[in-house]
Structure 1
Amino acid sequence: MSEHFPATDGVRPRWRGLVTTVMLILISVMIVRDILIRRWTGTPPAPPDTTQQSH
């Protein structure tokens, strides 16, 4: 298979590094946002989804 990118002496194209950086920033923001929302809403954690045995 032929490469579609020109040889740049082993350096990734700039847009690929930019896409990776933006994705990491977005994931980090989503994680922090989720943590802060859970802390500020004060809702107790959901019980585990386990079924009870009938007696």
Structure 2
Amino acid sequence: MTQKPPTRGAAAPRFRSIVTTILMVMLTVMIIRDIFARRWSSPGRAASDVTHHLP
């Protein structure tokens, strides 16, 4: 005999869809916030990738 898992109705897929959407929106907001923070909070000149040695 094969057993089927109990069905929970349509609420479970809808709940998962809402949670996924909220997580994607939060991720997008964090990425955009990071881009704006890097653009406007940078000091007067861009940081160099070259290591400076003190004499």
TM-score by length of 2: 0.59
1:32 aligns with 2:47: no
1:3, 1:45 → 2: CA distance? Answer: 58
1:38, 1:22 → 2: CA distance? Answer: 24
Identity %: 35
Cα RMSD, aligned residues only? 3.1
1:23, 1:34 → 2: CA distance? Answer: 16
TM-score by length of 1: 0.59
Gaps of 5+ in 1: 49-55
The list of structure 1 runs, each at least 4 consecutive aligned residues, that deviate by more than 3 angstroms after superposition, is none
Per the TM alignment, residue 3 of structure 1 is displaced from its structure 2 partner at its CA by 3.8
Per the TM alignment, residue 15 of structure 1 is displaced from its structure 2 partner at its CA by 0.3
